Structures are given as C-alpha cells and as structure tokens.
Structure 1
Amino acid sequence: MKTVIIFDHPYTSTASENVPHQRSFLAAIYKQVITQLKAENSEVDLIDLHADHFDPVMSAEDLSNWRRGVPINAQVEDYQNRLLDADQIILMFPIWWEVMPAMMKGFLDKVYAKGCLYQAGSMQTKLVRQPKIKVITTMGTPSWIYRWVIGAPLLKALFRGTFLKTKLFHFKWYSFSQVEKKSLAQRQRLIQGFKL
C-alpha cells in the first residue's frame, strides 16, 4: 500500500523533538505515523509543504492554467502524479482560526484541480484507487466547542465540500485539541497511543 502524507507546519515534519519554539506536536504525531506505517510495510511518500517551499498563492497565470485543466507548474504536476498513485492520503496540519492554514488551502486549490485530479462537470475524482483520506489536526479550541458551538467548519470544507463532492467517500478525521495545556508526559502518552 502506498501512503502519501501532505504535511503543513512552518517548523516542518522534522520538528518532533522537544525544543522550545522549534517543536511541533504535529511533527511528533507524524513520527509516530511513520513508525506505524513502516511496521505495516506501507510505502510512504512525504510532501512537506514548507520544506518544499510550496507557494499557496493562486496567481492570474496559475488560475488560467487551472481553468484549462493544465498543471500550474512542475511542482504541482509532481504532487498530482504522486496523489494519483496513492492508496491512502493523509493530510496533517494545525487548525488556525477554525480552518486549515493557507499552505494547505493553497495545496487543495492548486493541486486537487479540475481536469487534473477530478473531471469538470461530473466532479468525478481521477484518483481511481479510491484512496482512504485521513486528516490529522491539532488545535487550541476545545473539541466540544469546535464541533457543537463553532460547527466543525473543517469537516464541512474538507469532507463535504471537497472529498464527498468529488466522490471520495473513505474519510476519517483525528483531532488533537488543547495539547499545549497538557504536560510533557500527557503529550507523550497521546503520541504513543495514537493509531491510524
């Protein structure tokens, strides 16, 4: 099985160690995910958006290519080809202001593009392997407030508005909330106990 991980955090996927102001709980979870996938003999392909210097901004030229169903640039085309070969796609990012950061949004805008990864009109995905979509997030907002007061906008945008719309039905969301309020030992237990 081939798993493509799209990782979005400014400190990159390498920030898993407990170094103040250069650490990411998300990167520590990534490290645990990699360990699990390797134990399952899964092939893992990492797209680390910040390490790759991905540009999330859609320029006028980019939009012209997008509308014609042409890959925006060589990096985007490479990402698209890697996704076409995936049995499982894992998106990893922090939730900022209740939704995904700009880098992940730009990735979806530019990479999951009509004519390239889904058919215009029918909205049918071109990801013929029907990959499992898994989303792993961290956020400061308490889970119950995010779901019941704010209305889980991420689920609406990603599951309903993107993947379900393009007929990708295998979707699962793993959310870690308020990890900054937990002790180091509590965070370590969360990481060690995490299973996809």
Structure 2
Amino acid sequence: MNKNFLIVYCHPYDNSFNHAELLAIKNNLNKHNIKFNVIDLYNDHFNPVYDSEELSLFHLGKTHDTLVVKYLKLLKESTDIIFITPIWWNSIPGMLKGFIDKVMKEGEGLTHTITKTGVRGLLNNLNHTYVFTTSTTPTFYFKLAMGNSIKKIFINKTLKQLGMKHAKWFNFGGITNSKINRRKRYLEKLNNLKLNLTYKLKWR
C-alpha cells in the first residue's frame, strides 16, 4: 500500500525552529517520493473553541466548521501521521489541544466510538505516529523532573486511545540556548530520518 502521510503542524511563527522542522520533514518526504498533506492550524485560522452551536450540532452528527470536515477526511485518508509542535508550559499548545477536542469530538464514528468502558479509537488506518517537539527545558529534565506529559498523556493516552499506533517521539530540548551548529545537525538528521521506526535519534 502506498504511504500517504498527514502532517499536523502547530506553530504561529514561520521563523520558528518548529517551522524549520516542518520544512526538513517535507523535504525528507519529497526526497523519497512519499505523498503527504499538511494541516497548518494557525495558517488555516482554525478555531479551536468548541462553542455551544457546535455542541448542539454534534447531537445531529453535524458541524458548522468546514475545516473540521476537511481535517476528518484527511485523517481517514492517511496511512501515517506526524505532529510538529512546541511544548508550552509542559504540555501541547491550546491550539493543538483544541484540534484534538473539536475534530475528534465531531469524528465520533470516524475517529472513535463510545463503549461501556469509554472511548475506543477507530483511526487504525494510521500505521505509524511521529511527534516532533521543541522545549526550552532540556529533554532529560523534562522527562525526569517535569512529569513527561507529552509521552505519558498526549502519546500514550490520547493518541493511543484514538487508535494511532507505533508512536515515536523526538524532542529538541534546550532550544532557547541552543547553538546554531546543533540546530543544523538536528535538521540534517530530520532530512535523512527514515520514517519507518528503524532509525533511532539520540535524546539531546
């Protein structure tokens, strides 16, 4: 089966390191002739707020947000998914949380179903999940002293609950004080990263 990646990108600033990561990963996929689509949440002007009108339409199986319909279609047509996001205040940004809250909520029957024990994910078409983050906190400190919420909650709970499989997390820690040469080396690794879970990137 031909691969069709979906990139969910969450950063408002085009000169950010996250945006440089996005360009490196897009170049990687193009280089290997892998088809992909990009959801650029800020550039799309996605509204992460789940308002009262949206909630009332939910009970009718509808939404008033055309982007939600578009995003759900992309999710179901993809074979693999990549998230690119900063870590803000030890978690994902509100914009990305709103994407999960709003799009997945409207996707009942597409992204998940409700059982007696809670949510059962239906995004089994997504064979591999990659999460690329940046943090001001060094990675080792984030993992050991700050609760490691990206791995423990976002990846191991939320994404897994939706049916996303074989998750791999890469974090560029200490971004604020990092030197240009270190950033360049990391981006070069992303350019050459084999997106099949066989390539191991050292924690930094």
TM-score using structure 2 length:
0.84
Gaps of 5+ in 1: 16-22
C-alpha separation in 1, matches of 2:45 and 2:75: 18
CA deviations on 1:135-191 (whole Å, 9 max, x unpaired) are 110010111111111121122222232122233332111111112212222211111
Aligned residue for 2:31?
Answer: 39
Report percent identity of matched pairs.
30
Q: Give the secondary-structure state (helix, strand or coil) at the position aligned to 1:179.
A: coil
Whether the 8 Å contact between 2:21 and 2:84 is mirrored in structure 1 is no
Measured after TM superposition, the shift of residue 72 of structure 1 is 5.0
Structure 2 counterpart of 1:88: 80
Matched residue of 2:62: which SS? coil
Of residues 57-66 and 23-32 in structure 1, the stretch that sits farther from structure 2 once superposed is 57-66
Q: Which residue of 2 aligns with 1:5?
A: 7
Q: Does the aligned pair in 2 maintain the 1:86–1:131 contact within 8 Å?
A: no
| Match in the other structure for 2:57 | 65
In structure 1, how many angstroms separate the alpha carbons of the residues matched to 2:163 and 2:82? Answer: 17
- CA–CA separation in structure 2 for the residues paired with 1:115 and 1:103: 23
Partner residue, 1:133: 129
3-state SS of paired residue (2:101): helix
CA offsets 1:21-53 (integer angstroms, 9 cap, x no match): xx2111111111011111221111011011100
- Cα deviation for residue 7 of structure 1 reads 0.6
Q: 185-194 or 88-97, which moves further after superposition?
A: 185-194
Number of corresponding residues: 186
With normalisation by structure 1, the TM-score equals 0.87
Please identify, of 186-195 and 84-93, the stretch whose mean Cα deviation from structure 2 is larger: 186-195
What residue identity is the alignment partner of 2:85?
Answer: F
Q: Which residue of 2 aligns with 1:182?
A: 178
8 Å contact kept, 1:8–1:93: yes
